[in-house]
Structure 1
Amino acid sequence: MSSSDRQELQTLRDLIRYGVSRFNEAQVALGHGSDNAWDEAVYLVLHGLHLPPDTLDPFLDARVTSDERAKVLQLIDRRVTERLPAAYLTQEAWLRGHRFYVDQRVIVPRSPIAELLDQGLSPWLRDPFEVTRALDMCTGSGCLAILTALAFPNADVDAVDVSTDALEVARRNVDEYGLQDRLTLHHSNLFDALPHAAYDVIVCNPPYVNSQSMDELPHEYRHEPSLALAGGTDGMDLVRRILQAAPKYLSPEGVLVLEIGYERDHFEAAFPELEPVWLDTEEASDQILLLTREQL
């Protein structure tokens, strides 16, 4: 599109339509916050214009300045040419209405466990105020640890990651939410360097992508740290270690909530003796399981 043609893009509606066309033409891979080209374009346009991410209608036919147009088009161009997830372009991700800082040191927050935390893991936990200790294993950006702290206001929360880079991002998010007194970050290879504790809840979104799927990932996903995605031949390398150690860190009535993505077949092949409860959300089915300490 020539520079003169771009001058014809005068309103937010024009820019969004152009973004949708570019994304569809380039067949960009979605799934890092939006699942369709319209939502992706709306988000980038609103962000580029410093407008609220949930307020489009009043501004849809507003005209943009040449500088504003250039900034938005740069975001759209980079999304297509560099295949960067939108969250890396804007350095923010939204999960259940909560904003988190992100960059390429962490995967983009998108775990459907967030929806379950919104509900206080009801009915599997009777009273969110009775949860006093919680753990987020493989915390990455710290998003699930923060949502856990918000869901269980009386809980002290530990968050673990093997990546010091990820923990730097998590620290920034913990500080922005003012949770330093209740949320402690730990540098550890899973449970190896974690002080012993009895947790009422362990949530975990570990690396679980099997090796064949890793080889087939779209470009957008290859910008994310492979350390946070790759789970070995069947995707269960870290899951095996987590399930082995988790009972020692759960209170008698404690539960483990574990995300495994599209690896249910591999999970059931690896752990035929386990009968977890599969937790469905609006966004995900057969991707999250719950196990009690007794089962483990």
Structure 2
Amino acid sequence: MTPLEQRTGAISAVRTLGTAWALAAQALQAADLDYGHGCASAEDEAAWLVLHAAGLPASEAGDFATYAHQSLTAQQALQIETVTAQRIATRQPLAYLLGEAWLVGLRFVVDPRVIVPRSFIAELLDEGALDPWLTEPPHRVLDMCTGSGCLAILAALVWDDAQVDAVDLSADALAVAEINREAYALQHRLRLVASDLWASLAAAPSQAYDLVLCNPPYVPTASMRALPEEYRHEPEMALAGGADGMDLVRRFLHDAPAHLSARGIVVLEVGNERAAFEAAFPTLPAIWLETELHAEGVCVLLADDLRLAFAPGAGT
């Protein structure tokens, strides 16, 4: 019996969620995996996997104890054992092995064509969270670098009168976003656009956006080289941001003013790269927002500030 079989082989014999969770968590913990694709620990991933196999939503993980004594079929237990072994052997994110990711309690279809949804922006897309900078509910919303479409969908669900555009350069990503758009029946309000940033979007007052969301590639080259194996299964173009992580951010912000309404705002995620952002845009005022998982990974940029910073001769 191989070491992997020793760690996972007992799972298929168990018949309750709680026992399967304990064995799966123990096996994952022993494998020294890396987390960060929707879960922070082996215990969290094991709970998600066991709930999935039992046909329960991952949003129930917080109440997992309620289900600990629920029975598992032999087939469900075997699925948990198999996926646990795959997670350890391949180091793929669990989201890819299950074909789903969960963000603020909502399910999205994912596969290796898209980055696993985990944007800090998601928790800000709740009624009232952006009110200090949105003078009224947005009529037109853009999700730039949409990937799976999760942020665009969340925005459409929060502001049910808004028209939402979701842009990505990757045709593969847009194919996944289409699956998720259909799952939430948003074909009439959510438009998917293949574009290299702003290239395919009209810069006209009637097409201006009140709210632009952007979770771009922002991982610096040096950090890309040091990424754990789990992250190497994701599309490189969704992560790599050039030498300082700001290559795409520079292009995005330079042309943003022409596409914003008079009081439009940009909500931009840069993760751990606040210092790099401030070095790249020293004169651009940014309002840094605290989220549950990151104190300074997301900022709000105002249309007037962007127009001033990127005016001809401004030197930004």
TM-score, structure 2 length as denominator?
0.89
The whole-number CA distance in structure 1 between the counterparts of 2:22 and 2:250 is: 47
1:50 to 41, 50, 55: 55
1:28 to 33, 48, 52: 33
AA matched with 2:284: L
AA matched with 1:16: W
1:257 to 267, 274, 281: 267
**Residues 235 and 17 (structure 1), Cα distance of their counterparts in 2 relative to 1, 3 Å cut:** same
Structure 1 residue runs of 5 or longer lacking an equivalent are none
Q: Which residue of 2 aligns with 1:99?
A: 107
Q: In the alignment, does 2:231 pair up with 1:226?
A: no
The whole-number CA distance in structure 1 between the counterparts of 2:257 and 2:73 is: 59
Contact persistence 2:13–2:74 (CA under 8 A): no
**Residues 151 and 4 (structure 1), Cα distance of their counterparts in 2 relative to 1, 3 Å cut:** closer
1:125 to 117, 134, 137: 134
The whole-number CA distance in structure 1 between the counterparts of 2:93 and 2:252 is: 29
The whole-number CA distance in structure 1 between the counterparts of 2:125 and 2:233 is: 28
SS of match in other structure, 2:277: helix
1:10 is displaced (CA, Å) by: 3.6
**Residues 179 and 24 (structure 1), Cα distance of their counterparts in 2 relative to 1, 3 Å cut:** same
1:178 to 168, 179, 185: 185
AA matched with 1:25: A
Contact persistence 1:105–1:224 (CA under 8 A): yes
TM-score, structure 1 length as denominator?
0.95
Number of aligned residues: 294
SS of match in other structure, 1:68: helix
Alignment of structure 1 residues 1-296 onto 2, 5 Å: 1-2=5-6, 5-6=10-11, 9-53=14-58, 54=60, 56-120=64-128, 121-128=130-137, 131-196=138-203, 197-296=207-306
SS of match in other structure, 2:249: helix
AA matched with 1:90: L
The whole-number CA distance in structure 1 between the counterparts of 2:122 and 2:12 is: 41
AA matched with 1:39: D
SS of match in other structure, 1:35: coil
Contact persistence 1:49–1:68 (CA under 8 A): yes
Contact persistence 2:168–2:174 (CA under 8 A): yes
SS of match in other structure, 1:233: coil
Deviates more, 1:17-26 or 1:132-141: 17-26
The whole-number CA distance in structure 2 between the counterparts of 1:60 and 1:216 is: 38
Contact persistence 2:12–2:81 (CA under 8 A): no
Deviates more, 1:46-55 or 1:56-65: 56-65
Q: Which residue of 1 aligns with 2:313?
A: none
1:276 is displaced (CA, Å) by: 0.4
The whole-number CA distance in structure 1 between the counterparts of 2:270 and 2:52 is: 31
The whole-number CA distance in structure 2 between the counterparts of 1:245 and 1:7 is: 55
Q: Deviations over 1:219-270 (max 9, x none)?
A: 1111100011000000000000011000000001000000001111111111
Contact persistence 1:48–1:75 (CA under 8 A): no
Contact persistence 1:49–1:72 (CA under 8 A): no
Q: Deviations over 1:134-154 (max 9, x none)?
A: 111000000001111112222
The whole-number CA distance in structure 1 between the counterparts of 2:140 and 2:98 is: 33
Q: Which residue of 1 aligns with 2:310?
A: none
Q: CA RMSD in A?
A: 1.6
AA matched with 2:115: I
1:119 is displaced (CA, Å) by: 3.3
1:212 is displaced (CA, Å) by: 0.6
